[in-house]
Amino acid sequence: METILTGVRVNEEPTIGNFLGAYAPMINLSREHSEDRINFFVPDLHSFTTPIDHSKLYEQTIKGIKYYLAAGLDVNNPNIHIYRQSRIPAHAELCWILDCFTPFGEASRMTQFKEKGAEHPDAVTVGLFNYPILMAADILLYDAKYVPLGEDQFQHLELARNIAIRMNNKFGQELFTLPASEKEQVKFMHLEKGLRIRSLTEPNKKMSKSSENERSKILLCDDPKHAAKKIMSATTDSEGVIRFDMVNQPGISNLLTMESLLTNRDIQDVISDWAGQTSYGDLKRKVADTVMHFLADFQERVKNISNSDVEAILERGEQYANTAANKKLRQVQKAIGLYK
């Protein structure tokens, strides 16, 4: 049994792009690997690395888990565990231990720190610098081999591998399972087949939940009719023909991608439907209708999940996670001399 681990930050409302690029693929992966151990965790301690509304964090955590459940996560599978990072103290303790075995120069090469620091220059904290080490603790505590994540996080995954190798070599034992390499992760997650949802206003960029331009994104909580209007105003081009060309027609290609993923149809079939057609308005109306029906159905499923249901699921998951994490932490504590 392999361990697959994934976490999605919940301090910002996810977009339809997050759903199609993270939630839905992970649900599919959990079905394909139902015999493996699958850890879905909420990295709520990571939430503090950038400015947030702290008064909403708990509510957003519960809501984020409801999104996973509404997407189809099978919580009756005993191999699936859902938990909050903050409720497992071993994450924080192992992070400190790993800090002390990570050279400053290695940590300072993380490009995400530089990019996020540039976005929030007045809010650069030690936590922002240190979060890749906490991420390594999140992974290594559970001997996770596969870690579905965004491509911008592969550098952090490599850091976790380096830390695991360093600790294993230093203490002469297999303390940590080595996470799969980037190449293995890409193959495992089928990323080479992936389609990405782009901004509705700047289709050369990905759809971002942190974008200040509300017209650029469709949030999972958006009113379905309002979301349909965003599709109708999406940026396209002046080519005058519908075809899939991410270089020259990224806006049209983005609409075709959305239609493909939301209807669970092969992108080539959708492209064939529209081959040679010239009415951008017809395509927008079709995609707007698809988006509107998707959101209405999804939001209804979310509404039918109670907070008490989520809290019962978390209680079970956190009992498992504390047992597993404490066992691994004790092995590390013994190796570094804290216990006989």
| Domain CATH number, residue 176 | 3.40.50.620
Confidence of residue 191 (pLDDT cuts 50, 70, 90): low
Spatial separation of the C-alpha atoms in residues 71 and 307, rounded to whole Å: 16
> Do 219 and 238 fall within a single domain?
yes
pLDDT score recorded for residue 190: 67
Same domain, 43 and 185: yes
Q: How many CB atoms lie within 10 A of CB 48?
A: 15
Whether 183 is catalytic is: no
Q: Which residue among the candidates 145, 206, 217, 328 is catalytic per the annotation? A: 206
Domain total in the chain: 2
118-147: average pLDDT: 89
pLDDT digits (tens, 9 = 90+) for 265-277: 999 999 999 998 9
Count of CB atoms situated within 10 Å of the CB of 43 = 21
Q: Is 209 a catalytic residue?
A: yes
Condensed to tens digits (0 to 9), the pLDDT of residues 208-255 reads: 887 889 999 999 999 999 999 999 999 999 999 999 999 999 999 999
pLDDT at 154 over 60: yes
Query: 138 and 265 share a domain?
Result: no
Both 129 and 271 in a single domain?
no
Note whether residue 236 is domain-resident: yes
Q: Residue 71 above 80 pLDDT? A: yes
**How many angstroms separate the CA atoms of 238 and 61, rounded?**
43
Q: Is 206 a catalytic residue?
A: yes
Residue 51: pLDDT over 90: no
Q: Note whether 289 and 183 are same-domain residues.
A: no
The answer to whether residues 115 and 230 belong to one domain is no
Instruction: Give the domain CATH number at 284.
Output: 1.10.240.10
What integer pLDDT is reported at residue 192 of this predicted model? Answer: 47
Does 118 reside within a domain? yes
| C-alpha triplet 217, 220, 221: angle, nearest 5° | 105
**pLDDT greater than 70 at residue 172:** yes
Give pLDDT tens digits for 265-320: 999 999 999 998 999 999 999 999 999 999 999 999 999 999 999 999 999 999 99
Is a pLDDT exceeding 80 seen at residue 95? yes
Mean pLDDT of 108-132: 81
**Domain ranges, residue 254:** 214-302
**Catalytic residue selected from 116, 145, 217, 328:** 116
